[in-house]
Amino acid sequence: MITPYLWRSMLYVPANRPSRLQKCARYGADALILDLEDSVPDSEKAESRLLLKQALKEPIWDSAELYGSNGGSERVDLFVRINAMRTRYWREDLEAVIPEEIFGLKVPKVEEPTKVEELDHAISRIEKASGIEEGRTKLLLSIETAKGLLQLSAICAASARVIGVGFGSEDFMTDTGIDRDNLRYARMQMTLVVKAFGLYAQDSVYPAFSDLEGLKQETEEAKRMGMDGKTAIHPNQIETIHSVFQPSDALLEKAGEICRMAEAENGRVFNYHGEMVDRPIVERYRRLLQRSREN
């Protein structure tokens, strides 16, 4: 099953670095992950949360690079990586960012479906209190331990907010003792489960940001595994990731058919070979076609 979410790259941006927040939308990543977790020390959590909340209100998130010179400038898809639910910080993270205009949350170190359910309920309470449509905030989960991988089917089914799952290689290596060259089985296992649910599958960061050849090889492997995109920790990784994750001819053909049908339906929800297609899905396929033309 093909996911409607088409992010080739997502760039991590530390929430405690205002200068980076101000310019990160210009780098051309398909989406941004504004990070309150690993890149922010405990002593700076509260201040970084306030900095990020203020930044989310500013008109700095438009990226013409995503849509091309003819597509105008639109708001880049924003995720916020909250702190793990095993910490004392995650609830305050939610209160700060859910009321703002974000696409969703990147949720680290997910191990149990009950935690996803708890998170879903907490988000719903904040959405309701903020006058936001319930369900607007999506979840991109991160599997970083053997326990999380073994529970992944139940985790994927735990909430309708879940749109994708990413692999966290560094923490997975720490948890299991497996070295990077032997993570293929775990990455493939994650991808198979995620694809069974029709979700977006995301590969981990490649930490050696100056080694673009190594990045290319790992990204090509991720694509062969069936993953849809990869996270980046440095802007210079984005172009390499994009060069690998070019859409297939079959996906481009599907995108063209859906866009033509959407025009004929004049904004109405319609059925495409058993899939219900609404406006957000159509917009993503339009974006895919735009990217393909640019590339």
Domain boundaries, the chain: 9-245, 247-295
User: In whole angstroms, how large is the CA radius of gyration of the chain?
Assistant: 18
Model confidence, pTM: 0.84
Give, for 141, the enclosing helix (H) or strand (E): strand 138-143
More confident of the two residues 258 and 291: 258
**Domain 9-245, classified CATH 3.30.365.10, yes or no:** no
- Rounded mean pLDDT, 130-141: 96
Characterize 235-273 residue by residue with b for buried, 16 or more Cβ atoms within 10 angstroms of its Cβ, and e for exposed.
bebbebbbebbebeeeeeebbeebbeebeeeeeeeeeee
Under the banding of pLDDT at 50, 70 and 90, the label for residue 295 is low
16-25, 143-152, 245-254: segment of lowest average pLDDT: 245-254
Query: Mean pLDDT in the chain?
Result: 92
Largest distance between two CA atoms of the chain: 55
CA dihedral 233, 212, 4, 147 (to 10 degrees): -60
pLDDT of 156-192, one tens digit each? 999 999 999 999 999 999 999 999 999 999 999 999 9
